[in-house]
Amino acid sequence: MDLTPDPVQAAFIDAARHWLADNVPAEPLPPPYTAAGIGSHRAWERRLHEAGYAGMAWPRDYGGAGCGPDLDWLFTTEYVRARGPERINRLGLGLVGPTIIAFGEPWQQQRWLARILDCSELWCQGFSEPEAGSDLAAIRTRATRDGDDYVVNGQKIWTSLATHADWMAAIVRTDPGSRRQRGLTFLLIPMHLPGIEVRPMRQLHGEPGFAEVFFTDVRVPAQNVLGGEGAGWAVATTMLRFERAASVGHPARFLRDVGDLVELVRSVGLDDDPVVADAVAARYAEAHIFARYMEHVLTRRREGESLDASASVAKLYWSELEARIYETALDVVGPLAETADALPGSRAGRDLQRRYWHARASRIYAGTSEVQRNIIAERILGLPREAQWTSG
Amino acid sequence: MDLRLSEEQRQLARGAREFLADACPPATVHDAAGPNSLLDRVLWKQCAAVGFLAITVPEAQGGLGLGLLDLVAVVEEAGRALLPLPLLETAVVADVLARYGRTGVHREWLSRIADGDLVAVVVLPGQRLVCDADGAHLFLCLDDAGGLHAVPRDEVRVRRCVTSYGGRRLSTVAGALDATTELGPAPHAGRRLVNATAVANAALLLGICDHLLEATVEHVTVRHQFGRPVGSFQAVKHRLADAHVALETARPSVWAAAHQIDREDADADAASAIAAIAAAHAHQVTNEQALQCHGGMGFAHDNPLHLWLTQGKDVERAYGSVRQHRARLGRALLHPNRTDEEYAR
């Protein structure tokens, strides 16, 4: 047991802090899902790569720093503390890249990985469909082999970044007679091909973010299959595990959010209210409990243990925690929270609505809380499966 | 960064689990419960013989000279078996005596603890009930001003309380608890006692949760309704998944807090409160789901589960409730520069 960084880690932390202090933009970048914002966010991702802070946990052979999960983790801690911009390349670095490393042919790895690292190509994830949400095996989008191409027809939905992405990592059904997990294939689709139509969707709080994507006779080169035809389910579930473990749920975020909550309580003058103090202390404890849990998981990962199901424990805990933090924040602010500029002087009060609804979304994306509970109950506790249900 | 028990600590815990499965089966727990039972001196000696009571005693006094992290690894197993002995209290008293005791008498107490000849309990400010006070030889009492006193049995009056049928042996303790010389410099010695007791008690709760969850998983796997195991229903699965999450996420906080107390870390106060909150929450969730998923069978006195259910609720609040630990944390967060006395005003 050692809760402090070793000398290598301490030196790394020191360097990262300095780099972030010198480089994180003083003024927030324009929102990422806008024409102005997307360019500045891509440029920011490129700078992170040039400084050696992109894909740090990727093996050296694939352009990463090969430094294991620890430094990647520590960098995110410092990044969150420094309030760095939203990471639009998270999907490429955290999900698509590792999946290509795991399943790709050498030429595929050469073709795609470097361009993920420098963010010259931006990725979106083509999993969910109107009839395939939590029930991912119900995929209907078809890909029919025709010569050297697949001809793709169908629809994806809730696709984040689809309007700006260059590539989609998609699951399609290549065997028309197949059911459920069989007959699925993992296909990397260029987003600029003829026959692809992206219709942006507005979210409940008014912001853009995700989209519907329609495919009409889209010809995708057959060589863009990852992991072989018919192996789509295995590739997709691997990517889902990367997704659950991805740094979006890094404890530094919730420790920072709870710090903001304390600031918010002071700014509205409720710091002598015992009910508020109780709620804030509860959130503070929960954020620390999650941080300790993840430090434990990191230790076991470093020692080579496979911790697939623990990713569900982490996802469930942090997404529920995040929602509670922002429920508490709304309660503290009261009706003023409905206005965008209620507390202009307070960092914590700014953007409260947007942050609140993002927190609510966390319980839904990357596997709903209910799906995570099924996985925990069946794969960790070993409870019997329901006749009609499978966690994949 | 390395947050897990060492191989030696895991081995210590495995050994404790095997020993307790044999030495402290449910029948022993059952016999020890209730209003008329007495502390089992034979079992106490057996625990001393396998070294449980020597963990926090220095090697110079015949102990193992280990720390609180080693202790919590064993105490979790004591919780799993619901060992009806003040093991954690005696070990915590030894930890404080080892660090802050000065006299030959203190050193002698430590040797007697390691040998299984001295049972000690803890009395914190405002604590109304003391478990196993009637079997104890030594009372380590913290007064309201932060002074710590080691009080022998003949200077206190102990009155056994009427408790529920399967409950722990609770007593009130009265007398001149602060008459003896103070032990160690206030507030450090008292703070260590408060923190170590909270964290060790949290470990005991984790062990109680371990048993409740395992017994419940087994029950819902075997029990059939509507022609299938009740554990195949999502309504049941989700309850037990919540219990698993609360328990698994709590454990590293308990380990970290024990380690931070051992290292006299500046954050040990907050870490101890967090550990206590984590374990109490895990127990609230697990206790609720265990009884609910057992249905009527959980309410039957013939089912030994009731011992873990009822005693667990007692352990959950023994050394400060969730409310009290949160209040302590909330004060530190919102008013970091105010002392506790200023806050009380």
pLDDT tens string A165-203:
999 999 999 999 888 889 999 999 999 999 999 999 988
pLDDT of amino acid B333 = 93
Chain A residue numbers with beta carbons less than 8 Å from the beta carbon of B3 are 1, 3, 292, 295-296, 298-299
pLDDT in the model for residue B185: 76
Between CA A66 and CA A56 the distance in angstroms is 6
> Under an 8 A CB cutoff, do A9 and B1 touch?
yes
ipTM associated with this complex: 0.96
Structure confidence at residue A54 (pLDDT): 95
Interface test with B, best of A3, A305, A310, A324 (most B CBs within 10 A): A3
pLDDT in tens, A47-96: 999 999 999 989 999 999 888 888 999 999 999 999 999 999 999 999 99
**What number of CA atoms fall less than 13 Å from residue B272's CA on the CB side?**
28
DSSP A2: B
Q: Which residues are bridge partners to A126 per DSSP?
A: A170
Whether the CA torsion B268, B270, B275, B280 is positive or negative: it is: positive
**pLDDT of B253 strictly over 60:** yes
A224-229: average pLDDT: 97
Minimal Cα–Cα distance from B162 to chain A, Å?
A: 33
B334:A271 CB<8 A: yes
Query: Tokens 């057959």 sit at which residue?
Result: A222
Task: Give yes or no for a contact between A183 and A177, defined as CB atoms under 8 angstroms apart.
Answer: yes
What does pTM read for this prediction? 0.95
Q: Which amino acid is at B319?
A: Y
| B273:A70 CB<8 A | no
Indicate the pairing of strand B130-131 with strand B170-175: antiparallel
Give the count of alpha carbons within 13 A of B201, CB side only: 28
**Residue B291 pLDDT > 90, yes or no?**
yes
Asked whether residue A348 carries a pLDDT value surpassing 80, the answer given is no
Residue pair A210/A160 in contact by the 8 Å Cβ criterion: yes
Residue among A243, A263, A320, A378 flagged as catalytic: A243
- Shortest CA distance to A3 belongs to which of B269, B1, B270, B69? B1
Nearest to A1 among B3, B228, B229 (CB): B3
- B102-141: per-residue pLDDT in tens? 888 999 999 999 999 999 999 999 999 999 999 999 999 9
Provide mean pLDDT across the span B314-324.
95
Cross-chain Cβ contact B326/A374 below 8 Å: no
Q: A125-179 pLDDT, tens per residue?
A: 999 999 998 888 999 999 999 999 999 999 999 999 999 999 999 999 999 988 8
Q: What is the predicted pLDDT for the residue at B110?
A: 97
Single-letter code of the amino acid located at A211: A
* Bigger pLDDT: A134 vs A42: A42
Strand positions, DSSP E, chain A: 123-126, 142-146, 149-160, 167-173, 184-190, 196-201, 210-221, 225-226
Of A68-72, A230-234, B62-66, B120-124, the poorest mean pLDDT is in A68-72
Per DSSP, the three-state class of A178 is: coil
Nearest to B255 by CA among B307, B203, B309: B203
d(CA A32, CA A87): 9
List, in order, residues 6 or more apart from B193 with CB less than 8 Å away: B92, B96, B122, B124, B140, B142, B148
Whether the ω angle into residue B187 lies within 30 degrees of 0, i.e. cis, is yes
The CA distance from A224 to B248, in Å, is 41
Lowest mean pLDDT among A269-273, B26-30, B176-180: B176-180
User: How far apart, in Å, do the first and last CA atoms of chain A sit?
Assistant: 36
Alpha-carbon span A323 to B177, nearest angstrom: 47
- In terms of CA atoms, which chain B residue is nearest residue A271? B334
Q: Which of B237, B259, B335 sits opposite A271 (nearest CB)?
A: B335
| pLDDT exceeds cutoff 70 at A392 | no
Q: With 70 as the cut, is the pLDDT of residue A387 above it?
A: no
Name, in order, each residue with C-beta under 8 angstroms of B278's C-beta and a sequence gap of 6 or more: A285, A289, B202, B249, B250, B253, B254
Alpha-carbon gap, residue B93 to B96, rounded angstroms: 5
- Is residue B157 within 8 A of residue B176, CB to CB? The reply is no
Q: Which residues contact B19 (CB under 8 A, 6 or more apart)?
A: B50
Instruction: Return d(Cα B329, Cα B336) in angstroms, integer.
Output: 10
The SS3 call for residue A279 is helix
Using N-to-C axis directions, what is the helix angle for A274-302 and B234-262, rounded to 10°?
Answer: 90
